Chain A
Amino acid sequence: MTTANASPRPPFYRDVRVLKWVFQLGVFVVVAMIVYWLWGNFRSNTAASGIPTSFDFLSAPTTFTIPGADFSPNEAVRNAFIVGVLNTLRVSIVGIVLATLIGMLVGISRLSRNWVVSRLSAIYVELFRNVPLLVLLTFVFLGVVLQLMPVIAMAWTPLDWFVISNRGIGVPWYEGVSGWSLTLLVAIGLLGWWLIARWRRKVFENTGRPSHAGLLGGGFFVFTLVLGWFVLGGEMSLPVVDGREIAGGIRIDPSFVALVIALSIYTASHIAEIVRGSIQAVPRGQAEAASALALSGFQRMWNVILPQSMRIAIPPLGNQYLNLIKNSSLGAGFAYFDITNVTQITVGNGSPAVPAFFIALVFYVSISLATSTLVNMANRHFRLVER
Chain B
Amino acid sequence: MSARTLQGAQGMGTGSRAYRWARRNLFRTWGDALLTIVFGGISLYALFRFVLFLFVNARWEIIEVNLKLLMVGRWPSDELMTMAVSVVVIGLWVGLIAGIVQGRRVRADRSTISSMTRKERIADLTRRFGLIVGTALLLLALTNTAGPWLMAGSTVVAAVFGRVIGGMAGLGGMPQWLTRLGMLAVVGVPVLVYVYLSRTVPLAAWEGFFFNITAAIAGIILCFPLGVLLALARRSKLRLLQSLSILYIEFVRGAPLFVLLLMANVSLEFFVPASIAPSKVVRAVVVFTLFTAAYLAEIVRGGLQSVPRGQEEAAKSLGLSPTKQMGLIVLPQALRNVIPAQIGQFISLFKDTTLAGLALGILDLLGAAEAVTRQEAFRGQGLIIESLVFVGFLFWVGSFTMSRESQRLERKLGVGTR
Chain A residues with CB under 8 Å of chain B are: 20, 23-25, 27-28, 31, 38, 41-42, 45-46, 48, 51, 113-117, 120, 126-127, 129-136, 138-139, 142-143, 147, 291, 294, 296-297, 326-327, 329-330, 332-333, 340, 343-344, 347, 353-354, 357, 360-361, 364-369
B32: nearest residue on chain A (CB-CB)? Answer: A114
Whether A132 pairs with B352 at a CB distance below 8 angstroms is: yes
A41 with B270: in contact, given A127-B396, A131-B399, A369-B254 (CB under 8 Å)? yes
Which residues of the partner chain B approach A120 to less than 8 Å between Cβ atoms? 39, 43
Which residues of the partner chain A approach B384 to less than 8 Å between Cβ atoms? 138-139, 142-143, 147
Whether B352 pairs with A139 at a CB distance below 8 angstroms is: no
A115: nearest residue on chain B (CB-CB)? Answer: B25
Q: How far is the CA of A340 from the CA of B274 in the complex (A)?
A: 27
Which residues of the partner chain A approach B239 to less than 8 Å between Cβ atoms? 24
A329 with B270: in contact, given A113-B32, A294-B2 (CB under 8 Å)? no
Whether B238 pairs with A24 at a CB distance below 8 angstroms is: yes
Whether A116 pairs with B43 at a CB distance below 8 angstroms is: yes
Shortest distance from the beta carbon of B79 to any chain A beta carbon, whole Å: 28
Which residues of the partner chain A approach B256 to less than 8 Å between Cβ atoms? 326-327, 329, 340, 364
Cβ 8 A contact of B270, one of A45, A135, A142:
A45
Which residues of the partner chain A approach B366 to less than 8 Å between Cβ atoms? 132, 134-135, 138
Q: How far is the CA of A369 from the CA of B246 in the complex (A)?
A: 13
Shortest distance from the beta carbon of A53 to any chain B beta carbon, whole Å: 9
Any chain A CB within 8 A of the CB of B377?
no
Which residues of the partner chain A approach B258 to less than 8 Å between Cβ atoms? 327, 329-330, 332-333, 340
Among B36, B254, B357, max chain A CB count under 10 A is at B254
Shortest distance from the beta carbon of A100 to any chain B beta carbon, whole Å: 20
Cβ 8 A contact of A130, one of B257, B355, B358, B403:
B403
Q: How far is the CA of A117 from the CA of B41 in the complex (A)?
A: 12
Whether A45 pairs with B392 at a CB distance below 8 angstroms is: no
Any chain A CB within 8 A of the CB of B51?
no
Q: How far is the CA of A114 from the CA of B30 in the complex (A)?
A: 12
Whether A135 pairs with B395 at a CB distance below 8 angstroms is: yes
* Chain A interface main SS type: helix
Whether A368 pairs with B273 at a CB distance below 8 angstroms is: no
Q: How many A-B residue pairs have CB under 8 A?
A: 168
A41 with B40: in contact, given A27-B244, A28-B240, A365-B251 (CB under 8 Å)? no
Shortest distance from the beta carbon of B369 to any chain A beta carbon, whole Å: 9
Cβ 8 A contact of B382, one of A147, A297, A327, A332:
A147
Whether A347 pairs with B2 at a CB distance below 8 angstroms is: no
Which residues of the partner chain A approach B388 to less than 8 Å between Cβ atoms? 135, 138-139, 142-143
Shortest distance from the beta carbon of A138 to any chain B beta carbon, whole Å: 6
Whether B35 pairs with A357 at a CB distance below 8 angstroms is: no
**Residues of chain B in range 336-386 having any CB-CB distance to chain A below 8 Å:** 347, 351-352, 354-355, 357-359, 366, 370, 382, 384-385
B40: nearest residue on chain A (CB-CB)? Answer: A116
Which residues of the partner chain B approach A23 to less than 8 Å between Cβ atoms? 238
Q: How far is the CA of A326 from the CA of B273 in the complex (A)?
A: 31
Whether B354 pairs with A135 at a CB distance below 8 angstroms is: yes
Q: How far is the CA of A20 from the CA of B236 in the complex (A)?
A: 11
Q: How far is the CA of A143 from the CA of B382 in the complex (A)?
A: 8
Count class of interface residues, chain B: 35 or more
Q: How far is the CA of A172 from the CA of B383 in the complex (A)?
A: 34
Which residues of the partner chain A approach B270 to less than 8 Å between Cβ atoms? 41-42, 45-46, 51, 353-354
Which residues of the partner chain A approach B241 to less than 8 Å between Cβ atoms? 24, 27
Which residues of the partner chain B approach A142 to less than 8 Å between Cβ atoms? 370, 384, 388
**Residues of chain B in range 260-283 having any CB-CB distance to chain A below 8 Å:** 260, 262-263, 266-267, 269-274
* Chain B interface main SS type: helix
Which residues of the partner chain B approach A25 to less than 8 Å between Cβ atoms? 240
Among A116, A365, A369, max chain B CB count under 10 A is at A116
Whether A369 pairs with B250 at a CB distance below 8 angstroms is: yes
Cβ 8 A contact of A131, one of B32, B257, B396:
B396
Whether A139 pairs with B274 at a CB distance below 8 angstroms is: no
* 20 A-B pairs whose Cβ atoms sit less than 8 Å apart in the complex: A24-B241, A41-B270, A45-B271, A45-B274, A46-B270, A113-B25, A113-B28, A114-B32, A120-B39, A130-B396, A134-B366, A135-B354, A135-B392, A139-B384, A142-B384, A147-B385, A353-B263, A353-B267, A357-B267, A361-B260
Among B28, B40, B256, max chain A CB count under 10 A is at B256
Shortest distance from the beta carbon of B217 to any chain A beta carbon, whole Å: 16
Any chain A CB within 8 A of the CB of B400?
yes
A329 with B28: in contact, given A130-B400, A135-B392 (CB under 8 Å)? no
Whether B262 pairs with A357 at a CB distance below 8 angstroms is: yes
B42: nearest residue on chain A (CB-CB)? Answer: A120
Q: How far is the CA of A41 from the CA of B272 in the complex (A)?
A: 6
Which residues of the partner chain B approach A369 to less than 8 Å between Cβ atoms? 250, 254
A132 with B354: in contact, given A113-B32, A139-B388, A365-B254 (CB under 8 Å)? yes
Cβ 8 A contact of B240, one of A27, A41, A353, A361:
A27
Q: Mark B388-401, 1 if CB is under 8 A from A, else 0.
A: 11011001100110
Whether A114 pairs with B259 at a CB distance below 8 angstroms is: no
Shortest distance from the beta carbon of B352 to any chain A beta carbon, whole Å: 7
Any chain A CB within 8 A of the CB of B187?
no
Shortest distance from the beta carbon of B274 to any chain A beta carbon, whole Å: 6
In order of increasing CB-CB distance, the 6 nearest A-B pairs are A368-B254, A365-B254, A130-B399, A326-B256, A115-B25, A132-B351
Q: How far is the CA of A13 from the CA of B11 in the complex (A)?
A: 84
**Residues of chain B in range 206-264 having any CB-CB distance to chain A below 8 Å:** 233, 238-241, 244, 250-251, 253-260, 262-263
Which residues of the partner chain B approach A147 to less than 8 Å between Cβ atoms? 382, 384-385
A330 with B355: in contact, given A135-B395, A364-B255, A365-B254 (CB under 8 Å)? yes
Whether A354 pairs with B267 at a CB distance below 8 angstroms is: yes
8 new A-B contacts, CB < 8 A, other than A134-B366, A360-B259, A361-B259, are A24-B238, A27-B244, A114-B25, A131-B392, A135-B392, A138-B384, A142-B384, A333-B359
Q: How far is the CA of A42 from the CA of B270 in the complex (A)?
A: 5
Whether B25 pairs with A135 at a CB distance below 8 angstroms is: no
Q: How far is the CA of A41 from the CA of B269 in the complex (A)?
A: 9
Any chain A CB within 8 A of the CB of B26?
yes
Q: How far is the CA of A120 from the CA of B47 in the complex (A)?
A: 12
